[in-house]
Structure 1
Amino acid sequence: MRFKKWISGLFDQNKDAQERMLILLTLVAMSALFVIMIVGIVIGESTEDIVTMGIAFVVFGIIAYVAFHYNKVQLCATIVAALLIFIVMPVTFITGGGINGGSPIWFIFCTVFTCMIITGRRRWFLMGANIIVIIICYFIQYLHPEMITMHDEEMVFQDSLISVILVCTLVCFLIEFEVRILREAYHRSEEQLREIDDLNKSQNSFFSSMSHEIRTPINTIIGLNEMILREDISEEVAEDANNVRSASKMLLHLINDILDMSKIESGKMELAPVNYNIGDMISEIVGMFWMRAKEKGLSFHTDIDPNLPTDLYGDEVRIKQILINILNNAIKYTSEGSVTLSIQFRQGKEKQGIVTFTVTDTGIGIKKESIPYLFTAFKRVDETENRYIEGTGLGLAIVKQLVELMGGNITVNSVYTKGSTFIIDIPQVVVGDSLAGERTYSSEIKGSMSHRSEYVKRFDAPDAKVLVVDDNASNLLVVTKLLRDTKIQIDTADSGAAALEKTISKEYHLIFMDHMMPEMDGIECLHRIKNQVGGMCRASKVVALTANAGSDNKAFYSSEGFDGYLVKPTSGEALENECLRLLPKDLVHLVYSDDKIVEESMSWLNEHERKVEVIISTDSVADISPDLIEKYRIAVIPHKIRTNEGVFTDGVEIESQGLVSYMENGDNVARNVAPSVEEYEAFFAGLLSHAHNIIHVSISKDVNDSGCPMAVEAAEAFDNVTVVDTGHLSSGQGLMALEACRLVREGLSADMIKTTLENERTSFSTSFVVSSLKYMTRAGQVDNWINVISNAILMRPVLRMKKGRIRVGRIFFGSQENSWIHYIDRELRFPQSIDNRLLFVTYVGMSQKDLNLIEKEINKKMKFDRIIFQKASPVIALNCGPGTFGLLYRRK
C-alpha cells in the first residue's frame, strides 16, 4: 500500500518538484541497491561491501518513510546525501576496490543527487564536502594502498560495467523526469496565462458594459438637471440642482477612472495624439477649477511661461485628464491658502520640447511614509485623517500610468501640514510658431458665487432639421430639451430601422446617432443611411452620440464614417458646438457672439517667474565668501551657535572672529547646532518654488554635529531634492559647492551633477594645520591629557579628511610660523598633480601679516590662477581656534 502511495505521489503535480524527484530517486536507488546486493552475492563481492549495501537499503527506506509521512523532505534528503557522502561512498570505496571498482562512478551519482534534490546553502556545502571526500579517498589509495580491499581483474570489469550501466540509467531517469516536471510546469503556466487573459477579457467587457449602462442614466440626470438650471427658479432649487450636477460629475469621474485603470492594467490603453491649442486647454481647465477654488475660499493662481508654444502635438485629452486629477486633489485637500498651476517649456532637439506642469497647494501635505504609496491604485494615504474627503484613490495611479505612457515623468514634493507640489514633465511636439504665453487669458466663468449658471443662447436655426437616434427614450428627451432654445426642428427615432424610415422620406442636415442599439447598431445604421437607395440623407453629417468612452474611440468612429463624436453624458454647450460646426452656415443665425460674453478679470494670472532647472544649496558652515554666494546664487541654510548667553545664527548674528574672542575666556562654552529635519524640509520647500531640482552640498556626515543626516532625511519628502555628502570639512564643502555651480552653468542635469560630484569627491584635498588642540579639547573631540602634552612639546597636528572622517595626517613641531611653512611645503610638493585654477585658503584668527606670509610661501611652491582667502565659518573657528588655516584644492 505504501509503495502504491509513493508511485501515485511521483505523478502528483500538486507536490513540490524536489519532493517528486526524491520519490523517484528513493524508488530507483532502493531498487539499485537491491540489485547491487544480489549481483554482489552472485559475483562474490566482499561481505563488508554487501553488508554496507544492505544497511544502506534499510536506512534509505526508513528515511524515505519519515520524509513523506511527516513531510520533512528537505531534511531527510539532506540526511541521505550526508550518509552517502560521508559513510556509504567512503566505505564502498575502501571495501570495493577503490579506483579500480565502481565507486568513482557512484561518486558522480552522489554529485547529481545533491545538485538536483538539495536546495539552498545545504547544496553548496554538501557539494564541497563531496569533492573533499573524493580527494581524501584518492589520497588514501595513493598513500596507503594496503587499506583498500582490492578485486581481481574479472571482478573489476564486472563491478565497473554494472556501475556504469546503473549510473547511466539513473541519470537518464533523473534528467527525463526533470524535463517532464519542467514541461508540466510550462503547460500549467500557459494554462494560467490563458485563464488570466480570459479573466482580463471578462473584466474589460464588464467594465465597458458597466460604463455604457451607467452613462445612460447619468446622461438623463445631467441633461435634465441642466434644463432645470436654465429656468427661472429660486436660489434654493438652484443650489439643490447644482449639488445634483456635482454629484453626477463625480460619479462620472469615478466611472472614467475605473474604466481607464482597467485598460491600463490590460495593456490596451492607447494614446490619440492630435494637434491642439494649449492656450484653449489652459483656459478650459482654469475655468473648471477657478470657481471651485473660489467657493472654498482659496486663491487660484497660474504662472504661464511666455515662451510656451501655442500649438502642440500630443494627446490633449489625456493631458487634460492628468491636470484635472491633480488640480482636483489639490483643491480637495486644501482648506485654506492657495492652489497654483505653473506651466513651463524647455526646448529640445528640432521640434521636440518638454512641457512642465507644476501644481502647488498649501493643503495638508503628505507624510513621508505615505509618499511611496501615493500612486498605488485604490490606496488613499492617511485614510483616518481624510475619511471625509471623497474619492477612490484611483486618480493618481491613473495619472502616473498616463504620464509614463506619454514618455514623461511625475515627481512629488511635500511637507506634511505645509502643502504639496506635483511636477509633471511631458514631451510634446511643437507645430507652430506662436507663443501661448503672450496670449491674454480670460475666464468665461458665468455668474458669480451664486449657485445658478445663467444659460446664454448663442444661435437660432429654425430651418435646420436634426434627427436624434437612440433606443433610450430619456436620452431622446434630453437632447431634444437641450436644443429646444435654438429652435432647431428635431425628430427622434428609437431604433436604426425607425431612423431609416425617416431618412428615406425627409432630409436632415445633422443626425445624432447612438452606437449600442439592439438589432441594428449605430454603425450599421450609418452605413445603410449613406448607401440608402433613394435616401434623402446620404450626404448628411452624422455625429456619434454614445456612452462608449475612450481616447481611441474618436479615431474609431471617424474611420467608420462619422463626422463627429460626443460622449454621454453630454451638455447643451457640446451639442450646440456640434450644431454650429456641422449645420450649413446659411441656416444658423448668431444671436449672442463670444465677444459679448462678460469676462471676469483673471486674478489668478500671475506675472511669470521662470523656474531654474537646478539650484545649488549648502549650509552656512561651508566656507564660501558672500560675493561668491551672490554671484552663483547659492542658497544657504544657517546653522546655530549655542553659547552661555543664548543661541545665535551662524554668519548672521555671530561670526568667526567674534566667536574666537568669546572663546578666549576658558569658562565660555559654545557648540554648533545643525538645522532640524523640519527646518531643512521648510528650506527645500521654499527653494522648490524657484527651481525644478535642488542639489544640496553637505559637510561630511561623520563630522560632529553635521547637518547631513537631517538633510538626507528631509530630502526623502521630495522627489527632486538630492543631498550630496562631500565627505569633507567646511572648506571642501564650499569648494564642491562651487564646482556644482560650474556644472549648473554648463547645463548639466541634476542627475549628472550628482554623479559628477560623487565621482570627483576624492579629487578634492581638504586639510588644516592646527596651532593648538585647546579648542578641539573644549569641543570634546580630543582628551585633555593629549592637549596638555601637545602644548608642552609645541605639537602642531595636520588634520586631514579621509573617507569622510577627520584623521591626523602629519605632525609638525616648533613655532607656529615654521609649522605653517612646513605644512605649505608638504601640501604643494607635487604641483604637477594639482589643478592650478583655484586655491582656497581658509583661516581662523589671523592677521594680514600672517596671510601675506602664507601667500608668499604658496607662490614659492607654485602659481595659481586665483587664490581666495576665506575666513572659516564659526563652526570651524569653534573647533580649531586661532592660528588654524588650511589649503583646499582640486587634484588633476
Structure 2
Amino acid sequence: MMGVLAALLVYAVVFTWGQVYQSFELEALIGGGAVLLVTAYRLWLVARFDALHGSGPARWRRLFGVGLSLHALLWGLLPAWLIWRLGTGFNFFVVILYNVGVTTALGSSWMAGLRVRQAYIVLMFLPTLAVLLFAGSVHDWVLAALIGSYAFYLFRLYRGQYETFWHAMTRERRGSVEPKKPVRSSTEVQLSLVYRLAHELRTPMNSLMGMMSLLEDTRLNDEQKDYLQVAGQSGKLLLTLIDDVLDYSRILSRRITLNSDYFDFRAAIEQSLEAFGPMAQTSGLELTCVIDRMLPKRIRGDRERLMQVLNNLFSNAIKFSEKGEIRLDVDFTVERENAGVLRVRVSDEGAGMDPETLRHLFQDRFIEEGQDVYSSHHTGFGLLVCKGLIDAMGGTLGAESVPGEGSTFWFTVPVQMQPDMREAQSLIRALDGVQALVVGAASGTVSSIQEELEALGCQASSAMGYDHALQALRAGHREQSDFDVLFVDTWSRGELALNLCRNVLEDPSLRPVRLVLLATIEERSHAAVQQLIDKHDLVVLVRPVHRSVLRQGLARLMGLQRQIPVGDAPLQTPEERQRRKRFRLMLVEDNEVNQLVTRGMLSKLGYQVKTVSNGETALALLEQEPFDLVLMDCMMPEMDGFEATRRQREMEHSKASPRTPIVAITANTAEGVQARCLAAGMDDFLAKPVHLDALETVLRRWLPEQPVRDEDEQ
C-alpha cells in the first residue's frame, strides 16, 4: 500500500517543487492523470483482494500483473521524458532513485511470477537506457552502463529467487518419504543467505565504484560533481556495510579466522590518522594521537583486522561528535620477553551515552521484532563486528561514557613482539640537549610531541597561549636559557598562530629559535602560510602529527638529509608513462562491465592491456606471446582462474620458462580464499571492488624492471 502511494508523492515532488509543471503544463497534467489512474487501479485490486482472489486466484494474478506492467511502463517512460526535455538533472535523479527502490523492493515479493517481474524490469529501465544511449555524450553512456548493470543484476536475482521458490514448493509437495537430513536452524539458514547475498552484491558494487572513479576524470559541471561526490560517498558506505555483514555472518557462524604476521603497528596507525584527520577537520574536530614509546617496532597479529576495529572506532567517534578533540591513546605493557598486551583507547567529546545505552551497546543478537532500528539501543553491525573480532583475538572490547562529556571506546589484545632493531641515531645526536616549546595545540598533540621528543632525548614544555609563548621566548633569551625549537599549532586560533610566527621570524633576538608550524591540509595552501614558507623556508607539518611526520620535519629542521620512504610512488612524469606503455598486461575477466572498469583504470595508470573472458583463452594466448603480468578473475565459466593458474604454472615448469606474475581479482572475500589463490600458484590478491591505488601498488610490486619483450630483444 505504501509503495503504491509513494508514486503520487514522488510525482508531486518532481512536477511541483522541481518546477516541471510551470514549463510543461499540458504534459504534466497528462502524466499526472495517468499516474492517478494506475494508482487507483492498483488500490482497487488491494481493496478487493478477498473477493477477487476468492472467486479466481488465476484471474486476480493476471489483473495484478497488468497493474504492475502499467506502473512499470509509466514510470519507465517518465525519466526518459525528463532526459529528453530537461537533461539528467535533479528531477531525473529523484525519479530514477524511486525506480531503483521499487524494483529492489519487488525482489522480496511475488517470487512465483518470474515473467511479470522480469517484464517489470525491462519496462522500468529500457526507455531510459535507450534515451541515454542515443544522447551521444560519454556522461550519458556511463550513466546508462550503471543503470544497465543494476538492471541485469536484478534480472538474475529474480530468476534465482524464482528457481529457489519452486524448488522449495516441489520438495514440500513431494513429502518426506526419504530419510530426513539434519535440518539447520533458522539462524544458520539466515546467516547463509545473508552471506551469499552480501557476496553477490560486491560484483555490481565493483562496477559502480569503478565507473564513478573513471567518471571523475571526465568534464563535469559543478552540479554533476556534487552528484558524483555524494554517489561516491554513498557507494563507499554501502561497501563498508557489505563487508560488515560478511564479517558478522562469519563471526556468528564461527568461521572467522585470523592471519597473524609481524607488522609495524605504528605505521599502520599513521596511515589511518592521515586518512581520518582531514575528515575530522572538515567536521570541525581535531584528531590527535599519543603512542607509548615502549610500543615495539613490530608486533605479531592480524593487521587488517586490528585496523578494521580501529578505523571503525575512529568513524564512530567522528560520526557522533560535533566539536572538540578525538584522541587516540596507544599503550603497551611488556609481560614476557617476546609478548605483551596492547591497549588502545579512542576518546571523544561528544554527547556521551547514558548507562542504559551502554548496557545494550554490544548486544550480540538480531534485532527483535518491533524494535526500532534507529533507537539509541541499536548500534548496527559496526561495533558488533569489532566485538567479535576482538573476542577472536583473545582480547576485550569495552566502552565508558558520561552524558554531556563524551565517550571512550577501548580494547586490549595480547600480542607477540619483535624488539626494535635500530633507532634514528643521527637525529638523536642532532637533538641532544634541545629544548622545545609547544603552543596552541590540543592536549593530545602536546602529549604526542612530548612523548616523541623525550624518546629522542629532548625536553618539551607547553605554553598557555600565543602571547605567553612569545614572552617565554624573550624571557629565555634574556636569561640565556633559550628554547631551541618552537612548535606553533593553528588549532586554537589560526590568525594568532601566524602572527606569532611572524613576530618570532622577524625578531633578530629570536633568530636562533627554529620554528615549526602545525596546520591542516587546507591551511597549508593558504596564501599567508605560503608567504611564510617562501620568505623564511618555514617547516610546516600537516596535522594529525605522528612519529613519521614529526621526525621528517625535525630532520629537515636540523639540516639532516631527508630519506624518501621506499613505498613512495614514482611521479607520473612523461618518461614514467612512456615506460609503462612498454609493459603488456593481460586481464582475464568474464564480466563485461568489470572488464570496462579495470581496463579504464589500467589505461589511467598508463598501461596497455589485452582482455580475454575465460581461462582457456588466456592459456592459449600465454603460449603464443609473452606478458609481463596477468590479472586473473577467480570465478569464470568453462575454466576458472584457479585451474588456469595451475595449468600455467605446470607449463612454465615443464618448459623451464620464466614465471609470469598472476594477481587474483575476486569478489569472494571469505576467509581462506587468499590462501587458496596462493596455493593455486597466484602471486597476489585484489578484492573487488578494486581501488586505483591498490591496483597501482600491486603492479609496482610485481612488474619487472624491464618489460619481457625488451629483455627478449636484448
Instruction: Give the structure-1-normalised TM-score.
Output: 0.40
- 1:486 aligned onto 2:605: yes
Partner of residue 227 from structure 1, selected from 214, 218, 221: 214
Counterpart contact for 1:457–1:485, Cα < 8 Å: no
Partner of residue 300 from structure 2, selected from 294, 297, 313: 313
Q: Deviations over 1:246-299 (max 9, x none)?
A: 111111111111111111111111111012111221122112211221221111
Counterpart contact for 1:504–1:535, Cα < 8 Å: no
Partner of residue 584 from structure 1, selected from 704, 710, 713: 704
User: Match of 1:239, as an amino acid?
Assistant: D
- 1:518 aligned onto 2:506: no
Whole-angstrom CA distance in 2 between matches of 1:380 and 1:209: 20
Q: Which aligned pairs between 1:7-18 and structure 2 lie closer than 5 A?
A: none
Whole-angstrom CA distance in 1 between matches of 2:363 and 2:327: 25
Q: Deviations over 1:727-748 (max 9, x none)?
A: xxxxxxxxxxxxxxxxxxxxxx
Higher fraction of helix: 2
**CA distance 1:378–1:346, shift in 2 (3 Å):** same
Counterpart contact for 1:307–1:435, Cα < 8 Å: no
Which residue of the partner structure matches residue 284 of structure 1? 271
Counterpart contact for 1:508–1:536, Cα < 8 Å: no
Counterpart contact for 1:308–1:345, Cα < 8 Å: yes
Whole-angstrom CA distance in 2 between matches of 1:274 and 1:197: 36
Q: Which aligned pairs between 1:850-889 and structure 2 lie closer than 5 A?
A: none
Whole-angstrom CA distance in 1 between matches of 2:613 and 2:519: 37
Which residue of the partner structure matches residue 560 of structure 1? 680
Counterpart contact for 1:306–1:435, Cα < 8 Å: no
Which residue of the partner structure matches residue 356 of structure 1? 343
Secondary structure in structure 2 of the residue aligned to 1:516: coil
1:350 deviates by 1.1
User: Match of 2:667, as an amino acid?
Assistant: A
**CA distance 1:527–1:481, shift in 2 (3 Å):** same
Q: Deviations over 1:656-714 (max 9, x none)?
A: xxxxxxxxxxxxxxxxxxxxxxxxxxxxxxxxxxxxxxxxxxxxxxxxxxxxxxxxxxx
Secondary structure in structure 2 of the residue aligned to 1:358: strand
Which residue of the partner structure matches residue 272 of structure 1? 259
Q: Which aligned pairs between 1:393-408 and structure 2 lie closer than 5 A?
A: 393-408=380-395
Whole-angstrom CA distance in 2 between matches of 1:432 and 1:580: 30
Whole-angstrom CA distance in 2 between matches of 1:221 and 1:456: 28
User: Match of 1:531, as an amino acid?
Assistant: E
Whole-angstrom CA distance in 2 between matches of 1:444 and 1:317: 29
**CA distance 1:245–1:380, shift in 2 (3 Å):** farther
User: Match of 1:471, as an amino acid?
Assistant: D
Which residue of the partner structure matches residue 70 of structure 2? none
Whole-angstrom CA distance in 1 between matches of 2:422 and 2:519: 21
**CA distance 1:556–1:208, shift in 2 (3 Å):** farther
Which residue of the partner structure matches residue 503 of structure 1? 622
Counterpart contact for 2:628–2:707, Cα < 8 Å: no
Q: Which aligned pairs between 1:622-701 and structure 2 lie closer than 5 A?
A: none
1:448 deviates by 8.1
Q: Deviations over 1:412-451 (max 9, x none)?
A: 11012321001111111112415898599x999987899x
Secondary structure in structure 1 of the residue aligned to 2:230: helix
Which residue of the partner structure matches residue 201 of structure 2? 214
Secondary structure in structure 1 of the residue aligned to 2:380: coil
Q: How many residues align?
A: 392
Which residue of the partner structure matches residue 549 of structure 1? 669
1:578 deviates by 0.6
Counterpart contact for 1:208–1:548, Cα < 8 Å: no
Q: Deviations over 1:307-357 (max 9, x none)?
A: 211211100011011111111111111122221111111111111011111
Which residue of the partner structure matches residue 464 of structure 1? 583
**CA distance 1:205–1:384, shift in 2 (3 Å):** closer
Partner of residue 253 from structure 1, selected from 196, 216, 240: 240
Secondary structure in structure 2 of the residue aligned to 1:286: helix
**CA distance 1:360–1:209, shift in 2 (3 Å):** same
User: Match of 1:518, as an amino acid?
Assistant: P
Secondary structure in structure 2 of the residue aligned to 1:483: helix
Whole-angstrom CA distance in 2 between matches of 1:220 and 1:561: 27
Q: Deviations over 1:26-65 (max 9, x none)?
A: xxxxxxxxxxxxxxxxxxxxxxxxxxxxxxxxxxxxxxxx
**CA distance 1:403–1:237, shift in 2 (3 Å):** same
1:457 deviates by 3.8
1:237 deviates by 3.3
Counterpart contact for 2:212–2:232, Cα < 8 Å: yes
Counterpart contact for 2:360–2:378, Cα < 8 Å: no
Counterpart contact for 2:350–2:407, Cα < 8 Å: yes
1:477 deviates by 1.2
1:485 deviates by 3.1
Q: Which aligned pairs between 1:715-734 and structure 2 lie closer than 5 A?
A: none
Counterpart contact for 1:544–1:565, Cα < 8 Å: yes
Which residue of the partner structure matches residue 122 of structure 1? none
Counterpart contact for 1:310–1:432, Cα < 8 Å: yes
Secondary structure in structure 1 of the residue aligned to 2:182: helix
User: Match of 1:310, as an amino acid?
Assistant: K
| Bigger Cα displacement from structure 2, 349-358 vs 495-504 | 495-504
1:384 deviates by 11
Q: Which structure 2 residue ranges, 5 or more long, are not aligned?
A: 1-178, 424-450, 457-516, 526-569, 709-714
Counterpart contact for 1:275–1:314, Cα < 8 Å: yes
**CA distance 1:388–1:232, shift in 2 (3 Å):** farther
| Bigger Cα displacement from structure 2, 301-310 vs 251-260 | 301-310
Counterpart contact for 1:223–1:569, Cα < 8 Å: yes
Larger-Rg structure: 1
Give the fraction of aligned pairs with identical amino acids, expressed as a percent: 29
Whole-angstrom CA distance in 2 between matches of 1:548 and 1:410: 28
User: Match of 1:553, as an amino acid?
Assistant: V
Whole-angstrom CA distance in 1 between matches of 2:703 and 2:235: 30
Whole-angstrom CA distance in 2 between matches of 1:218 and 1:469: 19
Whole-angstrom CA distance in 1 between matches of 2:376 and 2:216: 27
User: Match of 1:499, as an amino acid?
Assistant: A
Whole-angstrom CA distance in 2 between matches of 1:345 and 1:193: 51
Which residue of the partner structure matches residue 227 of structure 2? 240
1:378 deviates by 6.6
